[in-house]
Structure 1
Amino acid sequence: METLHTPPRYAALVLGIGNLLWADEGFGVRCAEAFAARWQLPESVRVMDGGTQGLYLLPYVSAADRLIVFDAVDYGLPPGTLRLVEDDEVPRFMGAKKMSLHQTGFQEVIASAALLDRCPCSMLLIGVQPEELEDFGGSLRPAVRDRVAEAVELAADRLRQWGLDVRPRCMAQATPDDASALSDAALQLDAYEGGRPSAELACRIGDARFLPEAG
């Protein structure tokens, strides 16, 4: 019988969740990528692109003493608004207004970790109010993209408050793999944007790169 891989214990897990192919749904993943590229972290801190994996993330969440999650969350606020939610409030906000199945799945991850008595002792959700979700193949809208850097700084500040050593990565010494470890090179933000048609030419129901050929 197949068993879930059990990762080592982490002092903290920094997790981006969401779907890159649905416009602002990709906020969490873009934050995780930017965080990994911006900060040099101790081995006890792991950064992950959680995508839409749902319960497959349970071993990683259960192995973390503390958890930071980046995600697009419908708070009912103006687009681009950042809001921080902590500890016991995190599951409630992840599921209050579900925008996609990944949020239901992540609620289940937290609930399952709690049932196993292995829920992180501290949790921080750094969420942004999305502007556009119904754009298959689309990317972050400016109001949302502009908050990525701020979200990344907030996460770094919280790790420092937790006593973890977070230092700016020396970009002069960075290798191409530093920013690509979380996703395929073709899906990284610059490459993804570079291959996408302009808003004037793009099909609102989808990016032609991801649509089946006609006929």
Structure 2
Amino acid sequence: MNSKRILVLGIGNILWADEGFGVRCVEALNAGWEFPPQVTVMDGGTQGLYLLPYVQEADCLLVFDAVDYGDEPGQLRVVVGDQVPRFMGVKKMSLHQTGFQEVLMAAELTQKLPAELVLVGVQAEQLEDFGGSLRDIVKAQMVPALNLALDWLEKWGAAGRVRDGLSESITDNALAMDVYESERPPAEVAYRLGDARFLNMESV
């Protein structure tokens, strides 16, 4: 039996549109597939250094995230090995990436960096939409991203099996993508780009 400890981590913030790509990917992976017991599929959200113990325990780490590398919106990138921390440090979209880069650096300093690192990232289209969901061009890359992840997991000796029946959610059910999108008020009712009271102070 393969004894590699594998961590599949989705990071980001679902409240800021395409920033939620990583979390939505691990939700979908957990809902659709079962894996051997050495695989942990985890919503890392924006937890930063709180993720360090989980990363230190892993032999193989696969991360889903939204990235900004100047690509066309929706373009997928796969970054492997020691390029992962460098890639995440090149152009940060938000504080969560600063936090996760620090996690990787701390794991390396303690000589507990996973032996194998893979980042599956998508170029975001929209981030400035508080309460918004994934844009269509980014959401369309979830299936290709999951297929890439499944290929890596199989390569690591932990092939997924299509899940028979419902899974236990790894995030709060109230934040599941279908619920989140169906219950979201329209932009004209809930202004999502900031507080309108402070955007046009000259008119006050």
With the length of structure 1 as denominator, give the TM-score of the two structures.
0.86
Query: Match for 1:155 among 133, 139, 149?
Result: 149
The answer as to whether partners of 1:26 and 1:139 remain within 8 angstroms in 2 is yes
Tell me which amino acid in the other structure corresponds to 1:203.
Y
Deviations 1:94-129 (A, max 9, x none): 111111111011011001111111100000000000
Q: How does 1:1-215 map to 2 (within 5 A)?
A: 11-170=5-164, 174-175=165-166, 178=167, 180=169, 182-198=170-186, 203-205=191-193
> 2-side partners of 1:206 and 1:84: how far apart?
33
> 1-side partners of 2:46 and 2:31: how far apart?
21
> 1-side partners of 2:128 and 2:82: how far apart?
30
Unmatched segments (≥5 aa) in structure 1: 1-8, 208-215
> 1-side partners of 2:39 and 2:162: how far apart?
14
Cα root mean square deviation, aligned: 1.6
Shift of 1:92: 1.1
Tell me which amino acid in the other structure corresponds to 1:91.
P
Shift of 1:163: 1.4
> After TM superposition, where is structure 1 displaced by more than 6 Å over at least 4 residues in a row?
none
The answer as to whether partners of 1:18 and 1:102 remain within 8 angstroms in 2 is yes
Report the secondary structure of 2:21's partner residue.
Answer: helix
% identity of equivalent residues: 61
Report the secondary structure of 2:61's partner residue.
Answer: strand
Report the secondary structure of 1:127's partner residue.
Answer: strand
Unmatched segments (≥5 aa) in structure 2: 196-204
The answer as to whether partners of 1:10 and 1:46 remain within 8 angstroms in 2 is no
Shift of 1:179: 5.1
Aligned residue pairs, count: 193
Shift of 1:206: 5.6
Shift of 1:167: 1.1
Report the secondary structure of 2:63's partner residue.
Answer: strand
Report the secondary structure of 1:77's partner residue.
Answer: coil
Point out the more displaced range, 10-19 or 67-76.
Answer: 10-19
The answer as to whether partners of 1:34 and 1:179 remain within 8 angstroms in 2 is no
Tell me which amino acid in the other structure corresponds to 1:72.
A
With the length of structure 2 as denominator, give the TM-score of the two structures.
0.90
